[in-house]
């Protein structure tokens, strides 16, 4: 019996979302072949999933939707890629000194594995990241304070921005909602973008940690310019052609 005929529409759409999570995109032709259904069926499924806000259709397929989600939901998306990124970024975190972490779920994953340090202070506008840092000996998590964004859980607003600007750090570790070689980083939330820009301006170097689903994507509010980013860390091999547009702009890890 063909695979497609044995799956309900709900099961088929769950498989499509799993493809999106693992690969960062859905291609109509290959998905139709994999699920043994027509391309029209896949187009219809993608339309329904887009209507639910779970993805965004593009020519020939679909990519992840860019919208504000609670931290817990973001943490679960592309978790395997985030784990690889965290391990690649880990050697860039100093044993001591003063750094900043943004409120992204990717950087929370880094905080989860940072390990004991020799006296490292980490400024962050994320309560979950602060809680993750508190588990490690020799690491002092320092919250910016501010208003909690009801959509993302990040600490934002005038107080967060002012406090972020009161410190100078050795490095700022950040992720992004979308990354375009021409316009740089973009975010769903303007308030969150403002905090990131201040943290980057006050840092000696900015290290961007972004999974491959963010490449070529644009969100609502501009945040970091690639002129201010030193290193781009993804789950990809640095030689991957998907990184070609960024090759001459930043160091790739």
User: How is 51-94 classified by DSSP, letter by letter?
Assistant: HTTSEEEETTEEEE------HHHHHHTTHHHHHHHHHHHGGGS-
Give residue 158's pLDDT: 95
- Counting every residue written for the chain, the total comes to 253
Output the pTM of the full model.
0.74
Spell out the alpha helix ranges (H) of 151-233: 158-164, 190-201
Strand-pair partners of 57: 62
Sign of the CA dihedral with 135 first, then 113, 94, and 244 last: negative
User: What CA–CA distance (Å, rounded) separates 8 from 10?
Assistant: 5
Give residue 189's pLDDT: 84
Q: Cβ neighbours of residue 31 under 8 Å, at least 6 residues apart?
A: 16, 19, 42, 61
Q: Using a CB cutoff of 8 Å and minimum separation of 24, what contacts does 57-61 make?
A: 60/27, 60/28, 60/29, 61/25, 61/26, 61/27, 61/28, 61/31
User: What CA–CA distance (Å, rounded) separates 111 from 122?
Assistant: 10
Give residue 1's pLDDT: 37
User: What CA–CA distance (Å, rounded) separates 189 from 200?
Assistant: 17
Give residue 132's pLDDT: 94
User: What CA–CA distance (Å, rounded) separates 121 from 141?
Assistant: 6
- Between the CA of residue 46 and those of 65, 124, 132, what are the distances in Å? 12, 37, 36
Show the tokens assigned to 29: 């032709």
Averaged over successive runs of 10 residues, the pLDDT of the chain (253 residues) comes to 62 83 79 90 89 80 66 59 95 97 95 96 95 95 92 88 96 95 91 95 97 86 95 96 95 97
């Amino acid at each position: 019996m063909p695979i497609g005929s044995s799956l309900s529409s709900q099961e088929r759409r769950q498989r499509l979302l799993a493809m999106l999570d693992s690969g960062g995109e859905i291609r109509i032709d290959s998905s139709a072949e994999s699920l043994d259904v027509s391309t029209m069926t896949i187009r219809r499924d993608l339309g329904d999933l887009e209507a639910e806000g779970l993805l965004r259709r593009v020519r020939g397929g679909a990519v992840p939707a860019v919208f504000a989600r609670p931290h817990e939901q973001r943490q679960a998306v592309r978790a395997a890629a985030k784990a690889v990124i965290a391990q690649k970024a880990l050697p860039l975190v100093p044993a001591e000194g003063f750094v900043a972490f943004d409120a992204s779920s990717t950087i929370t994953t880094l905080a989860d594995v940072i390990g004991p340090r020799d006296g490292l202070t980490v400024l962050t506008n994320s309560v979950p990241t602060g809680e993750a840092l508190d588990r490690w000996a020799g690491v002092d998590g320092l919250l910016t304070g501010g208003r909690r964004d009801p959509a993302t859980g990040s600490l934002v607003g005038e107080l967060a921005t002012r406090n972020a600007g009161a410190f100078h750090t050795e490095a700022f570790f950040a992720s992004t909602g979308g990354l375009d070689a021409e316009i740089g980083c973009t975010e769903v939330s303007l308030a969150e973008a403002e905090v990131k820009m201040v943290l980057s301006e006050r840092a000696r170097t900015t290290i961007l940690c972004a999974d491959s689903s963010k490449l070529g994507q644009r969100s609502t509010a501009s945040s970091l310019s690639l002129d201010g980013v030193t290193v781009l860390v993804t789950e990809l091999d640095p030689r991957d052609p998907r990184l070609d547009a960024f090759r001459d702009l930043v160091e790739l890890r």
